Amino acid sequence: MTPSRKPTTFSGILVRSIILVCFSVFGFSARATHIVGGDLHYEYLGNDQYLITLKVYRDCATSSTNFDDPAAIGIYDSNGNLVVNLEIPLSEAIVSDVPVNTLQECLTPPDGLCVKEAIFSGTVTLPEIPGGYTIAYQRCCRNTTLVNTESNDDLGMTLFAEIPGSGAFWGNSNPSFNQYPPIVICLNQPFIFDHSATDLDGDELVYEFCNPLLTNVPGFYINPPGAPPYPELIFNAGYSYEYPITSNPAFEIDPVTGLLTGTPTQLGQYVVGICVKEYRNGQLVSTTNRDFQFNVTLCEMDAVASIPDQVDFCDGLTVQFTNNSVNSSTYLWDFGVEDSDLDISTEFEPEFTFPDTGLYIITLIANPGTLCADTAITTYSAYPVIFPEIIYEGAACIGGDMVHSFTSSANADSDAIYDWDFGPGSQPGSSSLSDPPDVILGYGQSTFEVVFTVEDNGCVESDTLVIDQPPPPQASIVPQSAWCAGYVFTFEHESENGQYYQWDFGIPGTGDTSDEEQPTFTFPDEGEYEITLIVSSDGTCPDTAMMNFSIYGDLVPYFAPQDPQCFTGNSFDFIAMGATTDVAQYEWDFGALAAPQSSVDPTTFGVTYSETGAFGVSLTITENNCTETYTDTVYVVAEPVLNFEINS
């Protein structure tokens, strides 16, 4: 939107008011007794008589010092000799207040400005001499608050005018400026002032910026003024007599019309010098300078119309308008509906319903029909609310990935622009379709933010959906640790993130499954079985673990217990039992005192011991990669001693 100009806000007015107060207190009180400008004019009366007129301007906001009394005007010949020192009493001067205005009817200057004008006039007789005369007036001091030159309370001012000598130009009257520049000009406001002069002789006048002049005689009241030449004022860096004011566009004076124009862009006080040269038949007759001061301030507009920028561009066809205008009491709104006389309102903040979507030029006039009415123009859009919405269709596990499906709805035109953002790592990461393709969300995250944005008629709206995706399960079967333990087996797992479990015990064509978390299963026969565990959880893809288990019948080796044997002729016979197949392997261990010491036969005969005592016997059977051992004890005892007597 491009309004016709930038409106003034209430906050800006408040800041402006504060600045003006500070400027008044610290600016004008500091320069209350200072000279702010002036110029000299002479008129030839005939018979070598001249009417000399001096115009001097000074601050009077808190004045404690009056104009010069008397005002001394020095007249020098071309050799620098003082010919006449014309002293004019203040009582004979015309003293008046200079009107404080901005030359712009609807801009009000700040309070506290005061400048007085004193017009001194006197008649002097000057005989015709070669080289002519220089008329001069000098006075201290300029303001110490000037922006474009040094702050020095000793900087004075010299005004001068040239009277041509004997010859064709004798009896000349110099140009007289028609009006004094306004003492205040408004910051950031275009300035236009007619700085032209009138010449009684009808000479050609040329206007230009020239360097303001300083005094060459010390003192406050200077009587008589010093002789020419006069020193020039030295400008601060960034300024010159041709660019005396911070401005854009820069100040300039039309050399033919004397029209002074420019737009000041910085607050402050600036000294300006302008000279007017008169030419007759192409020859320079004389030069007259004018010295004056511009006070750049913030001015108050009598009325300021202001429409705030539109915030909600697609908020429907009914718009509630806000009015930020100031210094006004009546209003006229035009809502820009073509071929309609009903799109106006005089309310302060009206509500208006546009007949159709589109862009409308809104016009607000503050204080309509008055001289200082102000107008603000901006552009508003009237479009329906988009209302974008993400519709989540759910997710399914496809090819080992969770694939999410989305559709959308929006109150948008057919040429609307759509943008999906599924977050980092997603496949795909974005889409420009209203209904995007299925999406695999990024890995390594538990929460995903999906953003759906619609741009239509320059309006942008978004919807956001947060999806929680649980961590995927990880299936894990606890490895087998017991072999040849029979056909009944209890399975365990170490899976993570699971809710549901599906076991398959590897017997084709049978119902060998279980959904228990830790199932027990009875196998029909011994052998190698491939066990499968599928772990799943809501909203995730399942995970599978597989492991081979060996299932065999119980292997329980044993041998029959042996009765104790006497030491003499002891002999133990062992028969191995407990194997389940014909390929079992046997290993006996009868200890160090037995003979034979070991055997791999299932049966062993005639094992004898060389000492009495308790002896351990071990039987180890290896079958189907299973090994089990059985141990028992046999006893060898001493033979009994028989004592008997034969009675005779």
- Which whole number is the average pLDDT over 271-292? 95
C-alpha closest to that of 44 among 275, 160, 200:
200
By DSSP bridging, strand 439-440 and strand 585-589 are unpaired
| 71 has a pLDDT exceeding 50 | yes
pLDDT in tens, 386-426: 889 999 998 888 888 888 999 999 988 888 999 999 888 88
Distance CA 581, CA 645 (A): 60
pLDDT for the residue numbered 448: 84
| 302 has a pLDDT exceeding 90 | no
**595 burial via Cβ count (<10 Å: 0-12, 13-18, 19+):** exposed
pLDDT grade for 642, boundaries at 50, 70 and 90: low
pLDDT grade for 556, boundaries at 50, 70 and 90: confident
pLDDT for the residue numbered 555: 81
pLDDT for the residue numbered 161: 95
- Which whole number is the average pLDDT over 501-508? 92
pLDDT for the residue numbered 7: 34
| 6 has a pLDDT exceeding 60 | no
Q: Which residue has the higher pLDDT, 594 or 559?
A: 559
Q: Which residue has the higher pLDDT, 555 or 430?
A: 430
pLDDT for the residue numbered 10: 32
pLDDT for the residue numbered 102: 56
DSSP lists the bridge partners of residue 397 as 402
pLDDT in tens, 13-63: 333 333 333 333 333 333 334 788 999 999 999 999 999 999 999 877 655
C-alpha closest to that of 620 among 585, 590, 646:
585
Q: Which residue has the higher pLDDT, 414 or 212?
A: 212
Instruction: Using alpha carbons, list the distances in angstroms from residue 49 to 52, 127, 159, 171, 510.
Output: 10, 8, 21, 9, 142
Distance CA 202, CA 280 (A): 9
pLDDT in tens, 78-120: 999 999 999 999 999 999 988 776 566 566 666 667 788 999 9
Least confident of 33-37, 206-210, 214-218, 240-244: 33-37
Least confident of 62-66, 77-81, 485-489, 519-523: 62-66
pLDDT for the residue numbered 32: 39
pLDDT in tens, 320-373: 999 998 888 899 999 999 988 889 999 999 999 999 988 899 999 988 887 678
Q: Kindly state the DSSP code that residue 25 receives in the 8-state scheme.
A: I
- Which whole number is the average pLDDT over 260-271? 94
pLDDT for the residue numbered 13: 34
Q: Spell out the SS3 assignment of 320-363.
A: ECCCCCECCCCEEEECCCCCCCCCEECCCCCEEECCCCEEEEEE
| 647 has a pLDDT exceeding 70 | no
pLDDT grade for 3, boundaries at 50, 70 and 90: very low
